């Protein structure tokens, strides 16, 4: 159902746009390489990111999202094979971010137009589908 844009909607659109652009810009600034011990690290400017997964640090077991950061970095650099090897969900993250940029620019540019709202039932299905896809890709990756 369409609704009139509210100031909160414009702030949300601007925030999502900035987040998508920032995510892609950061991924472009980073690269994945191996350290002396053969472990993969995400690096930028000669420094590596610290381990981001608290679950893996505590349990030494990969969580369902382990590898997504490396996958996003590889995908932004155009290496789709490496991106899929790290985690297939990284491709979804990059696609979603790329989709958000023109979409949010259009929403901000045509602020006076009536907005179409995603039906709640479809939003719920989409979230459950995304969660299921994340778990399935993780199980397939770690059961190979």
pLDDT for residue 28 is more than 70: yes
The answer to whether residue 69 sits within a structural domain is yes
Nearest residue to 137 (alpha-carbon basis) of 79, 69, 89, 94: 89
**What is the C-alpha separation between 16 and 117, in angstroms, rounded?**
16
**Edge-to-edge strand list for the sheet holding 31-34:** 31-34, 40-44, 47-48
CB 63 within 8 A of CB 75: no
Mean pLDDT of 57-67: 83
The answer to whether residue 60 sits within a structural domain is yes
The answer to whether residue 2 sits within a structural domain is no
Identify the DSSP state of 113: S
Highest mean pLDDT pick, 1-15, 28-42, 87-101, 126-140: 87-101
pLDDT for residue 112 is more than 70: no
The answer to whether residue 32 sits within a structural domain is yes
Q: Determine the 3-state secondary structure of 44 from DSSP.
A: strand
Q: How many domains does the chain have?
A: 1
Percent of the chain with pLDDT over 90: 28
Structure confidence at residue 1 as a pLDDT band (50, 70, 90): very low
pLDDT for residue 22 is more than 90: yes
Tokens of 57: 């640090």
pTM over 0.75: yes
Q: What is the domain extent for residue 38?
A: 7-143
pLDDT in the model for residue 19: 96
pLDDT tens-digit map of 67-110: 888 899 999 999 999 998 888 889 999 999 999 999 889 888 88
The answer to whether residue 99 sits within a structural domain is yes
The answer to whether residue 101 sits within a structural domain is yes
pLDDT in the model for residue 8: 67
């Amino acid at each position: 159902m369409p609704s009139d844009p509210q100031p909160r909607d414009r702030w949300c659109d601007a925030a999502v746009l900035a987040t998508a652009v920032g995510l892609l810009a950061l991924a472009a600034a980073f690269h994945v390489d191996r350290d002396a011990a053969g472990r993969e690290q995400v690096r930028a400017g000669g420094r590596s990111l610290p381990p981001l997964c608290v679950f893996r640090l505590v349990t030494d077991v990969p969580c369902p999202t382990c590898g997504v950061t490396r996958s996003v970095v590889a995908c932004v650099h155009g290496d789709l094979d490496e991106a899929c090897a790290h985690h297939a969900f990284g491709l979804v993250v990059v696609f979603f971010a790329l989709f958000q940029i023109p979409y949010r620019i259009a929403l901000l540019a045509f602020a006076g137009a009536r907005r179409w709202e995603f039906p709640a039932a479809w939003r719920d299905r989409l979230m459950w589908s995304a969660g299921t896809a994340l778990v399935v890709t993780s199980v397939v990756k770690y059961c190979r």
